[in-house]
């Protein structure tokens, strides 16, 4: 029998993959962080979290990122994104709501974002609907591995 999400989520997670697909299921390029960013996600048992994302090749981050974030998301700057705050878990729905207390992009401070999450052993899968760089709807799937 698996544990509820509220018990299995706390820990440190390293990003394995980040894939965006359009409504037809076709891959969509994501230029701000690239398709293979480096990232850490930390949830503690007291309800605090922190997220850090970096484009692997920041030399190609030319500062031409969109000036607004995608729907239901934060905005990277210069190939980097970071935010932290508090989180709550709805075990019945598998949804985690994060309230951003601090963020790299000032418009994200105070933002509440909700993600559907599932822990499978030492892997975490997060799915969210957002928009791509040209405004088209995309489904983003992030796969993580527990490292702490």
- Looking at residue 60, its pLDDT comes to 64
**Per-residue pLDDT at 70:** 57
Residue 48's domain comprises 5-146
* Res 135: pLDDT: 82
CA dist 148 and 145 (Å) reads 9
The confidence score (pLDDT) of residue 31 equals 83
Cross-strand bridge partners of residue 114:
97
CATH code of residue 131: 2.40.128.280
Number of domains in the chain: 1
Query: Distance (Å, rounded) from C-alpha 122 to C-alpha 3?
Result: 12
- Burial label for 141, CB within 10 Å (0-12, 13-18, 19+), is middle
pLDDT at position 147: 97
- Contact (Cβ atoms closer than 8 angstroms) between residue 117 and residue 128: no
Q: Which residues of the chain have pLDDT under 50?
A: none
Task: Output the pLDDT for position 72.
Answer: 56
């Amino acid at each position: 029998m698996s544990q509820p999400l509220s018990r299995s989520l706390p820990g440190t997670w390293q990003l394995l993959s980040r894939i965006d697909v359009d409504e037809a299921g076709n891959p969509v390029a994501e230029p701000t962080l690239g398709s293979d960013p480096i990232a850490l996600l930390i949830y503690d048992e007291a309800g605090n979290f922190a997220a850090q994302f970096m484009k692997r090749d920041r030399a190609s981050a030319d500062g031409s990122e969109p000036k607004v974030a995608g729907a239901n998301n934060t905005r990277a700057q210069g190939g980097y994104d970071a935010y932290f705050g508090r989180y709550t878990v709805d075990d019945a729905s598998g949804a985690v709501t994060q309230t951003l207390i601090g963020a790299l992009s000032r418009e994200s401070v105070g933002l509440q974002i909700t993600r559907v999450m599932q822990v499978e052993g030492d892997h975490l899968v997060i799915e969210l609907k957002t928009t791509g760089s040209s405004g088209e709807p995309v489904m983003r799937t992030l796969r993580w591995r527990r490292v702490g």
